[in-house]
Structure 1
Amino acid sequence: MALRGCPFPEAMELLFRAMADDSWRVRKEAVSVVLQAQPLSAGALEALIDLLRASDNAGLRNSAVESLERIGEPAVEKLCAHLEDPDHDLRKFIIDILGNIRCAACVPLLVRALDDEDMNVRVAAAENLGKIGDRSALPHLLKVLDGGEIWFKFTVLDALSSIGIPVPLAKLEPLLQEGLLRRATYDCLAVIGDAKCVPLLLQGMHEKAKNARDAAAVALMRIRGRLPVQERETLIDLQLRELAGTLAAKKLIDSLHGEDPVLIALLAQLCGIMRDERAALPLVRAARAERLRAGCLEALRCIGEPVLPLLLEHFPVAGSNERAVIVQLIAETEHHGSDELLLSALEDEGAEVRRCAALAVGRLAPAGAAPRVAALLDDDDPQVREGALDAVQRLAAADRDGVCAICSKLLRSRDERKRRDAAVILGALSDGERLALLVKDEDATVRRAAVASLARVESPQAPAALVLSLSDEEPEVRIAAAQALAERGGRDVLAPLCLALNDPDPWVQTAALKGLAGLGDAEALPGVMALLDKAQGQVLIAALNTVAVLGGAKALAPVQKALSHSDEEVVEAAIGILSGFGTEWIGEHREELLGHPHWMVRRSFVRAVAQLKGAESLAVLDQALARESDPLVKSEIAELIDRLR
């Protein structure tokens, strides 16, 4: 750390010694000092490259590799000069460094290294041509496939996948004759293959070797995802359905028991297309993983009715997560023959099973379900309680009397959580009379829930109750009231929302402004304009948006004025608003915004200019690039210029 202040030539020997230290912290600090000394002289770069010969100290060599990779393009010329070095290890390290720098100018030299006398160097050349991804390397990589060692071909196939450019199938198909290359070939086809590969991959799903068979299935599903819908059906789906019931299908289904989530997800999709009911239990087991559940459920739905008897038979011995999946499937397929199972599952030991059962009962509405679901409103698990509340609301349509009785009991409770649940359920019952009473409840969360429910209820009591809630002592209730009035809409809510603009809480003001913008009534414009002079932060941003919505292009003067505001977020918002009304404002404010002290404003401005003016913005962007000091903004401006030129 002390060496940071020293001239690099004087400190170099000590820094290189530190890069060989036993402690990785010391090595990291030494690399940091070397990078800080940029640009390095030609001699320093040579000395750094020479450290790659340190075969007896991996720490030193790795530190040198990291330093050269992070130096990047300034080191490329010196690195390339050593590609003919007698030391094959040095040649390999240099090729790896060039690949990580992603220098396209090095491609001809790496192509030449494909013929290196050392196998490790040849493999490194192929691997790093893939990293660079330059298509000019393609014919040279394909030439390697005509001969050479199997291990070398493995790396070439990976490189072709990384480059991602389609290659003639005739070049890859012969590789399937090599047992050790089949999986790698299928993996390559997964990335660069097209419809012409489909027959080959369908045949590949009959492979004896599991890894090759699975790779062929994955490649087929990836290509399917790139095909138009009609081609998927004719080229792939019809052929997969013919596989149902075969030994090949059973082997693919067995692969659902694996550990690779990407493989399982694609195989689940394939099983859904095959519609082989033998996949039912493996899909349920795979669905225990949260990230795989949606895909497995979709596959089970595609297989359809035949899976339910199998799953219902399995239910008593299934694990908790499996029971939850089965219950969810019963609900989604609307299978009405399992009412007793669902009602029993409401008392399952697994919280997720209880939650899914509540949602299923709410959807299927079996007779007498309401009180049994309502019992879960007291469940220890909050997600179960949430599912039960959703279910009771759904049951209101099928069993109004039963749900009304539940509500009456909840309303008499001294527990505010139960009264809050009652407020939510009363919304589903469209009971405006009792909701109007709840907006006066002693608990603010109950009042807020009642206000939110009133927004969806057509009741003569609703408007007055919502207006009353605009004067509630709790800001959260007033916010909910403003949102509810805006949601109801109509001329009657205009005056109350305008009144809420004077609320002392900024979030209430913001909710009122968004509501007025949603109404789109220009009569509110004077009240919003009056708020601009005293508004700050989020309120000012919401007010500017509302002015633009209500007044259109004629009301943009305060928005342009906001471009000079001291709050950079307000300036960004103003840029966004003005961008929706053409380009006239750009010339007048260009200098001010290009020189703005905050980088986010400068970035927002150049983005807006590029989007609005296209190629005509290049002069402004060139000017911005010349003045810009922030590396992030500078990089983005350069990308915009490259895209537009």
Structure 2
Amino acid sequence: MTGAAVEESGKILQLLQSSREEERLNGLRLLARSGFQTPPDHLLQALGDESWRVRKEASDLFLSLPSAGELAGQIVELLHAHDNAGLRNAAVDILTRLGRQAIPFLLEEVDCGDPDVRKFVLDILGEIGDNSCLEPMIAALKDSDENVRAAGAENLGKLKLADAVPALLLAMENADLLYRFTILEALGQIGAPVPVGRLLPFGDEPLLRKALFDCLGRIGGPGGLEPLVEGLIDPMRNVREAAAVALARISHEFPAVSAQLAGSVGESARQAVGGLLKSPNRQVQEAALQIVGLLDDGRFAAELLDLLEDVELRQDAFAGLVKLCNVAADLLLEFWETAGVDRRIYLAYIYGAARCGAARPLLVSGLHSGDSDLVQVCARSLGQIGDPGSIPDLIGALAAESEEIRQAAAQALMELAPLAGGTLLQEVVPLLEKDDPQLRMHGVVIIGQCQDSQTAEHLAFALKDESADVRRAAVRAMEGHCGSRHLHTLRLALTDEDADVRRLAAEVLGSTGDPEALAPLELALQDEDIWVRAAAVRSLGRLGGERATTLISQALFDPVGLVGIAALETLGESSPQLAYELSQKALAHEDEEVVTAAVKILAGSGRREWVGANRQGLINHRHWDVRANFIRAMVELEGPACRKFLEDRLLVEGEELVRQLLQDFLQELTQTRG
């Protein structure tokens, strides 16, 4: 060792022996920088330092050694340090973090004469969690020391291996109270099925019942139903809570338990469950709510309504109330009279979700309450109930000042349309004569949902409305109603002064599937609005046929790029070969977005021949986005063969985004070649 090294070693030792915490920490940091390969004694001593910061620094330093795993035996020896709890804790931390590397050294100590060390070893093995530790842990169940036996059971639970269950059940026969408690917890952690009859006798011990029910909830299955239901009336509250949580768990996992539960829970148990709905323990409260949801017992309605105020429990409480409304509607209806507005909003939701026809008079009254939120909910629920008798009141709600109420009423009437047929149509048609354009528009939307022979005629009438909003709604509603005899109506809509009406008409014509729609769409290709022309192109694609394909091909050369792109994309879906051929021609288009779309279609074809024919023009294109997309396509299709072209372009590329793309691809190709 050189003089400088000796001097540095002395300085480190001096710092490590200092009475000041910071100096000892600096000593460890200097030791780390010294490049030592084997841990000196003063590092092992630092593991037992009175300061947790020093111990942690020393632990991290030891674990940073390349040979740390091979030196685990030295750390295992530190578990014997009875007089230094900090040193033992540091050793436990290191061995746990070493994981499987430490297992061989730990197993050598599993039979040592010191019970404290045996317990430490089992706890560390449990944290490591390797299946190879199963046999030593099973053997520990017969250890002479009670703490070691408990550690064996506890850590078998952490391993979660079903192979441990027989040994744990055997140990349960002759165990003391605390040991049995630990075994039950371990069995629950493992989760493997256990014959319930093997465990039920231990429920005679009051102090074990909670642990037993916790265990049954995880492993008992349907066989645990009867004892758990009995547990709901146990005199000890924590046992009742454990029984409820266990019942909720197995009823969730086993549908058969859910079906049997209502018939198994007697009067006293039902009262006990109701009490648990107010438990301060969230898990218990949720379990009680789940059980109540399976009982279909109207006595819980008030409690469930109160739980709707709890955001976390609202969904389950709501589901339970909907079920109750299905089996005890009268009880839920009684709450309406005395409920405030907020509570009525909840009730209206429930009536609607349960499709409770008996609630219609209450919901209609709520429709006239004057409270905007309540009116909206009542309107929606009337639609869900599906009683045509609500139509006049819902139509009246369409005249409300609030657009939210109007939309809710319109949605409800649309839901009623399949049930009400011509009745609804007769009620709604007069809306088309109203002065309010919004009211006329809602009328059109509702009429569009009516499956009646007169529907299309009324929509055709609405296409002449002075309001563009109404005409747009009428065109949208025509989809699905416009047979051949209504093509004339849509053809007229293509001459509307509003571009959106014309665009929608072009879209609807494509949905007819009628060859007669071809001629009006050909005219729409000449529309002054680019969005109308683009819609006509896509509709021609939906119609298909030779003439449609020809028209789409011609649209490729529309002076506006958006239309050309629509043509390319439409051909790509209907005529891939033609799209491939025309895309090559489109590479010369003035609009760079059309060129980019063409490059993407060509790249998607998987064919390579177009790349070489267009390489110089595209890799040197004036627009950077075209260059970037072509570079991606070239690399995807040609791979390393295009390296030289990428390198040449990188020498002159001025756009930073493209330069970065080139560099990334060149690096990727280099790695691929390597």
TM-score, normalised by the number of residues in structure 2: 0.60
Among candidates 193, 211, 214, match of residue 184 of structure 1: 211
Tell me, in whole angstroms, the C-alpha distance in 1 between the residues paired with 2:116 and 2:567: 65
Aligned residue for 2:277, secondary structure, equals helix
CA gap of 1:67–1:304, structure 2 versus 1, over 3 A, is same
> How far apart are residue 82 of structure 1 and its match?
3.7
Amino acid at match of 1:378: S
SS in structure 2 at match of 1:161: helix
Provide structure 1 residue ranges, at least 5 long, that are not aligned to the other structure: 518-522, 548-555, 572-596, 602-626, 629-645
1:42 to 46, 70, 73: 70
The equivalences for 1:304-453 within 5 A come to 304=325, 307-315=328-336, 318=339, 322-345=343-366, 355-364=376-385, 366-371=390-395, 373-374=397-398, 378=402, 387=408, 390-394=411-415, 399-400=424-425, 412=437, 427-428=448-449, 432-433=459-460
Provide the C-alpha distance between the structure 2 equivalents of 1:453 and 1:161, rounded to a whole number of angstroms.
60
> Could you list the runs of 5+ residues in structure 2 that have no partner in the other structure?
1-28, 495-501, 508-523, 588-593, 612-630, 638-663
CA deviation profile, 1:110-132 (whole Å, cap 9, x unmatched)? 22333445544433332221121
CA displacement at 1:288 relative to structure 2: 4.0
Cα 1:94–1:537 change in 2 (3 A) is farther
Per mean C-alpha deviation after superposition, the further-off stretch among 269-278 and 312-321 is 312-321
Residue identity in the other structure for 2:577: P
Cα displacement (A) at 1:410: 9.8
Equivalent position to 1:146, from 173, 182, 186: 173
| Shift in CA distance, 47/5, structure 1 to aligned 2, threshold 3 Å | same
Are 2:96 and 2:128, in contact at CA under 8 Å, matched by a contact in 1? Answer: yes
Residue 616 of structure 1 is matched in structure 2 by none
Identity %: 26
| In structure 1, distance between residues paired with 2:597 and 2:432 | 39
What secondary structure does 1:7 align onto?
Answer: coil
Distance verdict in 2 for CA 1:481–1:399, change over 3 Å: farther
Residue identity opposite 1:282 in structure 2: E
Q: CA deviation at 1:175?
A: 1.1
Confirm or deny: 8 A CA contact 1:373 1:391 kept in the other structure.
Answer: no
- Provide the rounded CA distance (Å) in 1 between the counterparts of 2:335 and 2:431: 34
1:507 & 1:181 partners in 2: Cα distance?
78
- Partner Cα separation in structure 1 for residue 98 and residue 263 of structure 2: 55
1:207 is the counterpart of 2:258:
no
Amino acid at match of 2:414: Q
Matched residue SS, 2:392: coil
Q: Distance in 2 between matches of 1:507 and 1:31?
A: 68
Counterparts of 1:563-578 in structure 2 under 5 Å? none
Taking the aligned partners of 2:196 and 2:152, their CA distance within structure 1 comes to 23
Per the alignment, residue 241 of structure 1 pairs with 263
Q: Name the aligned partner's letter for residue 526 of structure 1.
A: Q
Aligned 8 A contact 1:111 1:137 in 2: yes
1:162 positional shift? 2.0
Partner residue of 1:162 out of 168, 189, 200: 189
3-state SS in 2 of match to 1:162: helix
One-letter code of the match for 1:76?
Answer: I
Q: Which stretch shows the higher mean deviation, 92-101 or 266-275?
A: 266-275
- The match for 1:99 among 120, 123, 126 is 126
How far apart are the structure 2 equivalents of 1:485 and 1:291?
Answer: 51
Q: Does structure 2 retain, via aligned residues, the 8 Å contact 1:95–1:110?
A: yes
Q: 1:457 to 1:367 in 2, by over 3 A?
A: closer
In structure 2, the CA distance between the partners of 1:306 and 1:47, relative to structure 1 (3 Å rule), is closer
Aligned match of 2:307 in 286, 290, 293? 286
Deviations 1:451-495 (A, max 9, x none): 865655546356965464698999999999999999xx6658994
Partner SS for 1:167:
coil
In the alignment, is the contact (CA less than 8 A) between 1:18 and 1:27 conserved in 2? yes
Distance 1:228 1:537, change over 3 A: farther
**One-letter identity of the residue aligned with 2:130:** C
Question: Following TM superposition, by how much is the alpha carbon of 1:50 offset from its aligned partner in structure 2, in angstroms?
Answer: 3.3
Does the CA-based 8 Å contact 1:52-1:65 persist in structure 2?
Answer: no
Are 1:190 and 1:219, in contact at CA under 8 Å, matched by a contact in 2? Answer: yes
How much is the aligned-residue C-alpha RMSD, in angstroms?
5.8
Contact 2:580 2:601 in 1 (8 A): no
CA contact (8 A) 2:391 2:413 kept: no
Larger Rg over CA atoms:
2
Question: 2:506 touches 2:532 (CA, 8 Å); kept in 1?
Answer: no
Aligned length: 537
Relative to structure 1, the CA distance from residue 334 to residue 79 in structure 2 (aligned partners, 3 Å threshold; closer, same or farther) is same
